[in-house]
C-alpha cells in the first residue's frame, strides 16, 4: 500500500496515518515530524535552515524536503509500502515524487483527500497537544490524555506546537489553499484521488478508510 494523505492543517492526517501504519505495518512518513525532530536536534544543519519556515507556517524549500523523503522511502521498511503525510505539498514536489517512484518502478495506489471544514480545523489545532518525547498527539477534549498535560505513553509533559498559534494557523491555511490544494486536480487527473470527510471522528474515519481500501482491493 502506497498512500499520500492530503488535507488542510489539523484535518487529522497524522492521527489516521498512525492508525493505518500500525494496522498495515507500513511506515508513516511525516515530513512535518521529520522536520520537527531535526529542529529539536541542535546539531542538525537542516533543522537550523527549517526552523524559521516551520515556525512561521511557510513551506520549507523543496530541495530540503525532497531529499529527506527520497532517503526515507529508500529505507528497507518502506519496500512493502508507506504512508506519505504532508508530502507532496506543491506541484513541484509531486512531480519529483513521480520521478523518484518511477525510477524505483513503483507507483502510488491512492491519494486520500481529507476534506475538512474550517470550524473543525480551528477546533483541532487550538486543542492539539503533542508529546515532545515520543511524538504522541492528543486533543484537550476530543482525545484527552488520561492525566491532564501528561503523555499516556511516556509520561512527558505535553506541549502546544509553536505553529499552532492563531496567526501562524491562518498563514498555514493560506499556504495550503495556494500551494497544496491545486494537487487535488493533479491527482484527480491521474485517477488516484479519493475524498473522505476529515470532520468524522477518529474511529468513524478509520472505518471509512478500511472500507475504501477493501473496495479498491488495496492491501
Ligand atoms: P505538518 O506537520 O505536516 O503540518 P500540517 O499539514 O499543517 O498538518 P498538521 O500536523 O497540523 O495536522 P494533521 O492533519 O496531521 O492533524 P493531526 O492528526 O495532528 O507540517 C508542519 C510544517 O512543516 C509546515 O507548515 C511546513 O513549514 C513544514 N513542512 C512539512 N512538510 C513540508 C513539505 N512537504 N514541504 C515544505 N514544508 C513542509 O490532528 C490535529 C488535532 O486534531 C490533534 O489534536 C488530534 O488529536 C485531533 N484529531 C485528529 N483527528 C481527529 C478526529 N477525527 N476527530 C477528532 N479529533 C481529531
Instruction: Say how far apart CA 90 and CA 84 lie, in whole Å.
Output: 14
Number of residues that make up the chain: 219
Pocket perturbation via mutation, ligand 1, pick of 39, 53, 123, 124 by most ligand atoms within 8 A of CB:
124
What does DSSP say about strands 137-139 and 128-130: parallel, antiparallel, or unpaired? antiparallel
User: Does the beta carbon of 143 lie inside 6 Å of ligand 1?
Assistant: yes
- Catalytic status, residue 161: yes
Active-site option among 128, 171, 194, 219: 128
Tell me what pLDDT residue 166 has.
Answer: 87
User: Using omega within 30 degrees of 0 as the cis cutoff, is the peptide bond preceding 211 cis?
Assistant: no
Return the axis-axis angle of helices 62-73 and 31-40, rounded to nearest 10°. 110
Closest residue to atom 23 of ligand 1, CA basis: 32
Closest residue to atom 39 of ligand 1, CA basis: 12
User: Does the beta carbon of 20 lie inside 6 Å of ligand 1?
Assistant: no
Tell me what pLDDT residue 219 has.
Answer: 77
Which candidate, 16, 20, 23, 52, places its Cα nearest to that of 143?
A: 16
* Rg value, the chain, Cα: 17
User: Does the beta carbon of 89 lie inside 6 Å of ligand 1?
Assistant: yes
Which candidate, 124, 73, 143, 77, places its Cα nearest to that of 101?
A: 73
Distance of CA 149 to the CA centre of its chain: 23
Tell me what pLDDT residue 196 has.
Answer: 97
Low-confidence stretches of the chain (pLDDT < 70) are none
Active-site option among 13, 18, 38, 129: 13
Q: Which atom of ligand 1 is nearest to the CA of 11?
A: 14
Closest residue to atom 6 of ligand 1, CA basis: 9
Instruction: Say how far apart CA 112 and CA 13 lie, in whole Å.
Output: 9
| pTM above threshold 0.85 | yes
Distance of CA 85 to the CA centre of its chain: 3
Distance 112 CA to ligand 1 centre (A): 14
Amino acid at each position: 500500500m502506497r498512500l499520500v494523505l492530503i488535507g488542510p492543517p489539523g484535518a487529522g492526517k497524522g492521527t489516521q496515518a498512525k492508525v493505518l501504519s500500525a494496522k498495515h505495518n507500513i511506515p508513516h512518513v511525516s515530513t512535518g515530524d521529520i522536520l520537527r525532530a531535526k529542529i529539536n536536534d541542535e546539531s542538525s544543519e537542516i533543522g537550523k535552515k527549517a526552523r524559521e519556515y516551520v515556525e512561521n507556517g511557510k513551506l520549507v524549500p523543496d530541495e530540503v524536503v525532497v531529499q529527506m523523503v527520497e532517503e526515507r522511502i529508500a529505507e528497507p521498511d518502506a519496500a512493502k509500502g508507506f504512508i506519505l503525510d504532508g508530502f507532496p505539498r506543491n506541484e513541484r514536489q509531486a512531480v519529483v515524487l513521480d520521478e523518484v517512484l518511477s525510477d524505483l518502478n513503483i507507483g502510488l495506489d491512492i491519494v486520500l483527500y481529507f476534506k475538512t471544514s474550517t470550524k473543525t480545523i480551528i477546533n483541532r489545532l487550538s486543542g492539539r497537544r503533542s508529546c515532545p518525547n515520543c511524538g504522541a498527539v492528543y486533543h484537550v477534549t476530543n482525545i484527552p490524555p488520561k492525566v491532564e498535560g501528561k503523555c499516556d505513553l511516556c509520561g512527558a509533559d505535553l506541549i502546544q506546537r509553536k505553529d499552532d498559534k492563531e496567526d501562524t494557523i491562518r498563514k498555514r491555511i493560506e499556504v495550503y489553499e495556494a500551494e497544496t490544494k491545486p494537487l487535488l486536480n493533479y491527482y484527480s487527473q491521474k485517477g488516484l484521488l479519493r475524498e473522505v470527510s476529515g470532520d468524522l471522528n477518529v474511529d468513524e474515519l478509520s472505518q471509512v478508510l478500511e472500507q475504501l481500501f477493501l473496495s479498491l482491493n488495496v492491501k
